[in-house]
Amino acid sequence: MPVSVAEEAGLADMASFAIGILRRQYLIILFTTLVATAIGVTYLRVTPPIYTAKAQIIIDRGKSPFLQQQQAVFPDTPIDAAQVESQIQILGSARIAASVVKNLHLTEDPAFVGGGLADSIKERLHDTLTRFGLNAFISNERTKSDSDPIHQATSVLLKNIQVNRVGISFIIEINYRSNSPQRAAQIANAIAEAYVVDQMDAKYEVQRRASDWLQNRVKELRQQAAANEDAVNAYKAANNMVAAGGTLIKEQEVAELNRQLVVARDKTSESLARLNRIESVLSRSDLGGVDGARSDASIDGAVSDVLSNQIITKLRQQYLELVNREAEFSVRYGKDHAAVINLRNQIRDIKNSILNELRRLAESFKSDYLISKQRQDSIEKDLAKSVAQAQETNKAQARLRELQSGAESSRSLYDLFLQRYMESLQQQTYVTSEARVVAPAAPPEQKSSPKTVVVLALSFLGGLSSGVGLGFLRDIMDRAFRTAEQVERAIGVACVALVPLIKKDPKNTHTPPARRPPAAGSRTICRDAGKFWTVVNAPLSGFTESIRSVKLAADLRRVNGLSTVIGFTSCVPNEGKSTIAASLALLTGQVGHRVMLVDCDLRNPSLTRTLAANASTGIVDVLSGEKSIEEARWRCPVTNLAFLPAPEKSGLLHTSEILASAATKKLFEQLRLSYDYVVVDLPPLAPVIDVRATGHLVDFYFLVVEWGITKIDVVEHGLNRARPVYENLLGAILNKTDMDQIGRYDMKRQEYYDNKHYARYGYTT
């Protein structure tokens, strides 16, 4: 997506702003970076190296083949994150640390017990408080523990231990820090070994306690099982209960009769069904008056029920053959043929034979039914008798089952605990740990802290970022005027000149006239004082060119060449307004104009002290009528400048009333008639209100602000309170500008301030 012109301009402005801050604040950024880097180097030099040794153990509950064949007394639960975290806490506990202290005899190592600065301070503090009777403020328990070498060594050891879980695995990493790489590896391995031994001791203790408890419990259960079995045998003997195959004889007899009764009932039902079927067939068969179709149906139904009877099967075959032949002969010879009639007689005889056989079978089925019924009744009587006898022993049998159930439960529980007890005895003789070392610690070859590259990088980057932050904060908090754009944006008027700071006496291109102090009473301006003489001594300097810019702005405001009254003021003292006013007056007089420089800063007449230090009369005397303008003014023979001083007078309090008086207005009207330019040095806006009273005297004002010193808020506040000045303000002058530094604040116009452009025209700095 193409970038618009406005976005490009915004990016350019941001880049210029950032570069400008770096250029303006590079000293503080560089200083902060160097200080932070020096602190990092110092830290590396004074901090002893620390070596970290790493040992790894794994929590593994996989059992050996021997233990897999046995059931544990306390089944292992699956390992989860909480259990791993618990083991991490155990590894970093004081018990493990104390075990390592004892195993490695760390109480004999000065690095772990005594000899340290902290211990020395504690001992001295304790002795001092004891001497003054203030030992009550120290816990006795704490003092005792501090004096215990094992406790001291354990505390030091715990401070240097770090236990971590490796990812989401069951591997735990033990890190120990020490000034000696060999010592670090030794202690890391000792911690892992102490942890494994502690786990084995804990499991052995648990199994031992479980074995003791199981042994007592087995004895109790054995006695209880024996007592319950004795009770069962005694009850059987008392109630004459004999069992065969685990079941009472009466119960077996009732069960057998039940089985026989079921079989008898099935046989009786089958015999009755067959008898009913035969009788139904016989009742529907009528050979004497039934038609042939009905008889055939009866024979067919009877034959279907007795297919297993050979006689009926043969008769039915003969019957079917005769029927077929009778039908064939009837079609061939007719129904009344003798052969057909003979066949019909044979068919009837066979039907009678079949019915006779069916009657014989019916009698046989009836006999079978009666026999089955009689046997069923006999079995039912025997069963009822046996049930009646069995009911007499139901109560005794219920009690017997209860006693047997208790005896079986006691025996099962005894067998279970006996098995667990035997397994516990075997496991107690072979104790293993769930933790094992997978990577023992080795002496580290490189120190772990402080890391030289990291410390230097962090100190450098920290110093750089802090320097940039301080520089940015210092830059945005800088509310002083630095560029002409700031002046115009804050005040709302044009910045007519950037007056450079005069760092040294400029090189004169013209030989000045003889410099000698004025004769007494001559009222000649002192030639040897003030930087404003630069416009005379160095006419091709940047300072003089900026004053020409002020004069040009004033000339453009003049109307038809009339006399102009120009006022110079500032917001606070020492901003250089008097120097600018005198410089403009000298430059204007030097080019041939009639110029009057008036010192109206009645409370602090700095121009008078500089140009006419011996003046005894001045503007106040003229206003009072005691002196004329000619009697009070001073002159410069070189530039034809006239100066009306304001000697300091005691008791001069109401200066604003003096400047606002009609006499002052009349004086300035007279000056307008005699001079082309009347340059007025006015008081500053903030300390006094005199400037506000000069609106009827001055045609326009120039506001002088000091570069890098005058605050924007002060100027805004001062102009808001002096509306007549602001309404007639022609422009602002940025005085004492550091031309070498301004390019860093005005990045867009930095080439404009390059001195090489002015040097081509003979200008000097």
The answer on 627 and 755 residing in a single domain is: yes
The answer on 61 and 43 residing in a single domain is: no
pLDDT tens digits, 170-185: 889 999 999 889 998 9
Mean pLDDT rounded to a whole number for the chain: 80
Query: Is position 400 within any domain?
Result: yes
State yes or no: pLDDT of 146 exceeds 70. no
pTM for the model: 0.53
Q: Which SS3 state, helix, strand or coil, does residue 422 take? A: helix
Indicate the pairing of strand 564-570 with strand 700-706. parallel
Q: Cα 272 from chain centroid?
A: 92
The answer on 141 and 62 residing in a single domain is: yes
Question: Residue 464's domain spans which residues?
Answer: 5-47+450-476
Residue corresponding to tokens 């019909």? 344
pLDDT tens digits, 443-483: 998 888 888 888 899 999 998 888 888 878 877 777 888 88
The answer on 104 and 89 residing in a single domain is: yes
For the ranges 61-70, 100-109, 405-414, the maximum mean pLDDT occurs at: 100-109
User: Which burial class, exposed, middle or buried, applies to 441 when counting CB atoms under 10 A from its CB (0-12, 13-18, 19+)?
Assistant: buried
Of 334 and 164, the structure prediction assigns the larger pLDDT to: 164
The answer on 547 and 685 residing in a single domain is: yes
Residue 651 token pair: 């008791």
The answer to whether the CB of 642 falls within 8 A of the CB of 634 is yes
Residue 142 binned pLDDT confidence (cut-offs 50, 70, 90)? very low
The answer on 275 and 137 residing in a single domain is: no
pLDDT at 474: 76
Cα–Cα distance between 573 and 564 in angstroms, integer? 25
CATH number of the domain that residue 498 is part of = 3.40.50.300
Mean per-residue pLDDT, 551-577: 89
pLDDT at 512: 44
Query: Is position 461 within any domain?
Result: yes
Cα–Cα distance between 506 and 509 in angstroms, integer? 9
3-state per-residue secondary structure call for 355-420:
HHHHHHHHHHHHHHHHHHHHHHHHHHHHHHHHHHHHHCCHHHHHHHHHHHHHHHHHHHHHHHHHHH
pLDDT tens digits, 700-745: 999 999 998 888 889 998 899 888 899 999 999 999 988 878 777 7
pLDDT tens digits, 71-82: 555 555 566 778
pLDDT at 79: 66
pLDDT tens digits, 599-621: 999 988 989 988 888 888 999 99
Of 399 and 121, the structure prediction assigns the larger pLDDT to: 399
Helix (H) or strand (E) holding 568: strand 564-570
The answer to whether the CB of 680 falls within 8 A of the CB of 694 is yes
Cα–Cα distance between 407 and 708 in angstroms, integer? 108
- Omega before 637 within 30 of 0, i.e. cis: no
The answer on 134 and 206 residing in a single domain is: yes
Query: Is position 339 within any domain?
Result: no
State yes or no: pLDDT of 663 exceeds 90. yes
The answer on 176 and 43 residing in a single domain is: no
Helix (H) or strand (E) holding 655: helix 655-659
pLDDT tens digits, 16-26: 667 767 777 77
Cα–Cα distance between 642 and 588 in angstroms, integer? 11
pLDDT at 746: 67
For 612, residues 6+ apart whose C-beta sits below 8 A from its C-beta are 523, 525, 526, 634, 643, 645, 647
The answer on 70 and 196 residing in a single domain is: yes
Give the type of residue at 583: S
3-state per-residue secondary structure call for 523-567:
CECCCCCCHHHHHHHCCCEHHHHHHHHHHHHHHHHCCCCCCEEEE
pLDDT at 229: 82
User: Which burial class, exposed, middle or buried, applies to 101 when counting CB atoms under 10 A from its CB (0-12, 13-18, 19+)?
Assistant: buried
pLDDT tens digits, 205-262: 887 888 888 888 888 888 888 888 888 788 777 776 666 555 666 677 778 878 888 8
**Which contacts (CB < 8 Å, 24+ apart) does range 710-717 have?**
710/480, 710/481, 710/570, 710/571, 710/572, 710/575, 711/479, 711/480, 712/479, 712/480, 712/481, 712/486, 712/490, 713/479, 714/571, 714/572, 714/686, 715/481, 715/490, 715/491, 715/571, 716/490, 716/491
The answer on 121 and 42 residing in a single domain is: no
Cα–Cα distance between 520 and 529 in angstroms, integer? 17
State yes or no: pLDDT of 690 exceeds 70. yes
Query: Is position 481 within any domain?
Result: no
Residue 388 token pair: 């009646």
The answer on 400 and 275 residing in a single domain is: no
The answer on 749 and 660 residing in a single domain is: yes
Query: Is position 710 within any domain?
Result: yes
Half-sphere exposure of 151 (CA within 13 A, CB side): 9
Give the type of residue at 295: S
Cα–Cα distance between 86 and 476 in angstroms, integer? 54
The answer to whether the CB of 611 falls within 8 A of the CB of 643 is yes
CATH number of the domain that residue 182 is part of = 3.30.1890
Query: Is position 330 within any domain?
Result: no
Query: Is position 694 within any domain?
Result: yes
Total domain count for the chain?
4
pLDDT at 569: 95
pLDDT tens digits, 394-416: 667 777 778 778 888 888 888 88
Detail the DSSP E strand segments found in 571-699: 595-599, 634-636, 641-644, 677-681
Of 429 and 483, the structure prediction assigns the larger pLDDT to: 483
pLDDT at 586: 93
User: Which burial class, exposed, middle or buried, applies to 422 when counting CB atoms under 10 A from its CB (0-12, 13-18, 19+)?
Assistant: middle
Query: Is position 564 within any domain?
Result: yes
Helix (H) or strand (E) holding 700: strand 700-706
